[in-house]
Amino acid sequence: MAKARSVATITLEARSGVGTTASQGVRREGKIPGVVYGHGQATPISVDAKQLADLIHSGAKSKIVEATIAGKKDSVLLRRVEADPISRKPLSVDFQRVKQGEAITATVNVVTTGVPIGVTDGGGVLDIVTHALDIRGPAQSIPDSLTVDVSQLGVHQHIAASEVALPAGFALLTAPDTVIASVEITRAEAAESVPEAPVADAAAPAAATA
């Protein structure tokens, strides 16, 4: 597999045209329309589709990158990519201006590691209930993902959001009791574990009367 290209800088071109027609024209030029917001007025921009793809696939989607916007230097964070539901190609993009040390909110994916003992020994099935958590912390330190070890989960046990380790300086915004992952038995296993009810003996025939 090819190594992901590291992206430290990106060029964002200011654009004057907005709306559906203008956005379609931008895409025909091999660029993606978008906006940069935060610390002032929102700025409509366009970004080269290849540069955006490099950023998305670099593993640095949650990292601050240095941007040139209309000839001026700025620090931005990729916040949203709207993709075509069929082709999955980007249709529009949002960037946020940030400053080093600034606290911002972010939605970060949860990645599980290990195989639960409730799966290996108890015949259970691991169910990933929540795939991402909302956290708040320094813009320059937002993690690409949060790792959760599920290896010690037994049947009918779960891990809550409050048990997920966060980097230093970050606070959890998602409800603490939100279930991240649980181990449950399948319906087939549950059915097999229920003992069958005993079959009642057939009633004896009534005695004949004279």
Instruction: Note whether 116 and 90 are same-domain residues.
Output: no
Instruction: Note whether 182 and 109 are same-domain residues.
Output: yes
Mean pLDDT computed over 93-120: 92
Let me know if residue 202 belongs to a domain.
no
Tell me the CATH number at 73. Answer: 2.40.240.10
Let me know if residue 176 belongs to a domain.
yes
In angstroms, the CA 31 to CA 198 distance is: 72
pLDDT of residue 82: 92
Mean pLDDT computed over 3-10: 58
pLDDT of residue 20: 84
Is pLDDT above 60 for 117?
yes
Is pLDDT above 70 for 199?
no
pLDDT per residue as tens digits for the range 126-163:
999 999 999 999 988 888 899 999 999 999 999 999 99
Mean pLDDT computed over 88-111: 91
pLDDT of residue 162: 97
Let me know if residue 208 belongs to a domain.
no
In angstroms, the CA 48 to CA 39 distance is: 24
Let me know if residue 150 belongs to a domain.
yes
The number of folded domains in the chain is: 2
Is pLDDT above 70 for 13?
yes
Tell me the CATH number at 189. Answer: 2.170.120.20
Let me know if residue 110 belongs to a domain.
yes
Count of CA atoms in the C-beta half-sphere (13 A) of 87: 4
Is pLDDT above 70 for 103?
yes
Last residue of a domain, one of 72, 98, 124: 98
Mean pLDDT computed over 168-187: 93
Domain that includes residue 40, residue range = 9-98
Instruction: Note whether 16 and 84 are same-domain residues.
Output: yes
Let me know if residue 206 belongs to a domain.
no
Mean pLDDT computed over 121-126: 92
Last residue of a domain, one of 98, 132, 160: 98
Partner residues linked to 66 by β-bridges: 9, 75
Which of 158, 195, 192 lies closest to 177, judged by CA? 158
More confident of the two residues 50 and 19:
50
Lookup result for tokens 């640095």: 60
Instruction: Note whether 86 and 155 are same-domain residues.
Output: no
pLDDT of residue 195: 58
Measured between alpha carbons, how far is residue 177 from residues 76, 130, 164, 171, 199 in Å? 32, 11, 11, 15, 45
